Structure 1
Amino acid sequence: GGKPPVRVENAGRRAKTEDEPGFITAKVAAALAKCDGDMEAATAALIKQAIPDAMELLDRTRTGGRYDVVAHPALPEILHKQSAHGPDHIWEARPKWTRPHLPQGRWEVTALDINGAYLSALKTHLPLGQLEHSTGFAHDRRRAGVHLITPPAWDHDADLPNPLGARDEPGPLWVTEPTLRLLQRLSGPKYGLCEAPEIHESYTSGSTENLLEKFRTELKDARDRAIAEDDEVTLEYVKAMYSKFVSTMGASNYNRELYRPDWMHLIRSQAFANLWMKAFKAYENGLTVVRAMGTDELHVIGDWHHVFPEGRAVTEVKVKDTYTLGTAGADETGEHDA
């Protein structure tokens, strides 16, 4: 009897047989074979090659792609580092917020961890070509880049972090596309939380939200499979691929194939904007938001299970910690003395 036919599935523009190993699976298998099944050694080797592998995967997912990308554009002055190791002029709106006042009483706080924050943030509007300068208030939603804005006042710090992040000094500043779009969204009729930001000038290029979509999906699917199969080697490898991909695209000495500090800023800011929206979702659903930090840390009081599903997928949250805050009332302290 002949072998049963192998199922062919439609994978993007090319058909592939169902049992053909994917890029990530093949890399992991090769590393394990080379290290004689030593999982620690294989993981270390894979993490070491995460950047070139991520670039190779990006190239593969972009084969036959619709968009031409400028990998090494000339950059405006604001994207140049101010010193060899110093930052450039772009504000990423990283949240570092703790609620100023708690209601009376003692409260149990849950510190939630947002899974794969940078992986999800790869879905963001990225400028394809060279950034072009423009001035004035208009914002073209088909373009993306960085914008010099005067941010609106934020009057909700008692309950919610400022979407602009932990910024002390007033006045205009250069923000990224995700930050601008978040502020615009929050100034709209649905939220009405602030005034619209005022745009003074911009550096933008035609953009798409789908630029890294196949790349992101491939990494997400590999991550999901690894979780289902308890495959820590692949999990660590995938994490190294997307986190190093983001951190090195803005540092030419690590990743020579792609130098887009603008993308790095936009992806990071998208992660921060995503966290802000999760904080708002918590607030909207009756939870007390206690802290919002970095890309992935959200501390809340209340029954969060009806707001966020628990698990390891990128759509789910993990519990990082639980702790108690606040002061005991007089009647409580009396009991403890007895």
Structure 2
Amino acid sequence: ARRAFQDASDMPDLIGQAVHAAMEKSQGDVEAASAALLKRAIPDAMILLDACRKGARYDIIAHPWIPDVLKKKTARGADEIWEARPKWTRAALPPGTHEITALDINGAYLSALKTHLPLGVLEHSAGNTHDRRRAGIHLITPPPWEHEAVLPNPIGNRDEAGPLWVTEPTLRLLLRLSGTKYGLCEPPVIHESFTSGATENLLEKFRGTLRDARETAIAEDDEVTLEYVKAMYSKFVSTMGESNYNRELYRPDWMHIIRSQAFANLWTKAFKAHNENLTVVRAMGTDELHVLGDWRRVFPEGRGVTEVKVKDVYTAGVGDAEN
């Protein structure tokens, strides 16, 4: 019989144990302990993932067949997936001189672990249909974006027109924005897809464990644990594709999907700011959002993953949004 899902109280505190052992070995030398923990962040993340998956409903298929579009063309090259990374700056500010706040989105990749991930081998399909029970990568023709003056294009900065391979979060964002609730664009045209049955909760316990450890570390002013946890989730994402640093997991589809989810999450925050009458000035990468206006009535301030913190405050005027 399948084992019951492991209760959180039954989980050993692997993060706390690792930090304690590193501090003991370094005889209290914080820098040495931190350096040792950062070196083992990838294997430790995999051990934590295994512990979190014990008794889970779905098995992780660590080395599935991968379609060619997900394979690097050269050793140092890239595959064909477009992650929709935002790199947008508003072309013109309202008249006058303004104080602009650069906000930092906390734990962007940690939050992005909650995303629809394909469970099994990716299967090919053709046609302009989307099954919400499945997830993967999709060849689409994106719709025109007519709001560039006030909001970034949800597919990011792209110089070329025509079809491109995107991931599940990008497609779902475009479909959502084309629906009656938003009505911001036409639906994308889906030409073909590689998908599998999916769940949004595959990494949920892993994410929750890292989030809780992060929150405890912040509350206790424990920078060693905080940096260790950050390294665990960021390196977990960056090495789950084709990496010599993590041979236990080969899921370039997951890597692209999680990254794209982080970018989609930032776009959603930019839209929320715009919808709450803030002026969105810049959106960059996973975690950088510049706004003009009383942002504290829109976003809670703090270091938690649902909060934002101030990265910079600067003054800009007409034609000076690049400051």
Residue matched to 1:292: 283
d(CA) in 1 for partners of 2:219, 2:111: 19
2:6 pairs with 8, 13, 21, which one?
13
Q: Which amino acid aligns with 1:13?
A: Q
Q: Which amino acid aligns with 2:187?
A: A
The higher radius of gyration belongs to 1
d(CA) in 2 for partners of 1:14, 1:197: 41
d(CA) in 2 for partners of 1:193, 1:305: 26
Question: Gapped runs of 5+ residues in structure 2?
Answer: none
d(CA) in 1 for partners of 2:119, 2:289: 32
1:21 shift after superposition: 6.0
2:196 pairs with 200, 205, 208, which one?
205
1:15 shift after superposition: 7.3
Residue matched to 1:34: 25
Aligned ranges 1:40-119 → 2 under 5 Å: 40-119=31-110
Secondary structure, aligned partner of 2:54: coil
TM-score (norm. length: structure 2): 0.96
Could you list the per-position Cα deviations for residues 162-211 of structure 1 after superposition, in whole angstroms to 9, with x for gaps in the alignment?
00001111000000000000000000011000000000000001110000
Residue matched to 1:281: 272
Note the aligned Cα RMSD (angstroms): 1.4
1:217 pairs with 208, 219, 234, which one?
208
Residue matched to 2:175: 184
Aligned ranges 1:254-269 → 2 under 5 Å: 254-269=245-260
2:142 pairs with 151, 170, 175, which one?
151
1:226 maps to 2:217: yes
Secondary structure, aligned partner of 2:165: strand
d(CA) in 2 for partners of 1:251, 1:235: 27
d(CA) in 2 for partners of 1:276, 1:195: 17
Residue 114 of structure 2 contacts residue 201 of structure 2 at CA under 8 Å; is this kept in 1? Answer: yes
Aligned residues: 316
Identity %: 74
Could you list the per-position Cα deviations for residues 141-161 of structure 1 after superposition, in whole angstroms to 9, with x for gaps in the alignment?
111000000000000000000
Secondary structure, aligned partner of 2:88: strand
Residue 88 of structure 2 contacts residue 157 of structure 2 at CA under 8 Å; is this kept in 1? Answer: yes
Stretches of 4+ moved more than 6 A in 1?
none
d(CA) in 2 for partners of 1:41, 1:12: 37
Question: Gapped runs of 5+ residues in structure 1?
Answer: 1-10, 329-338
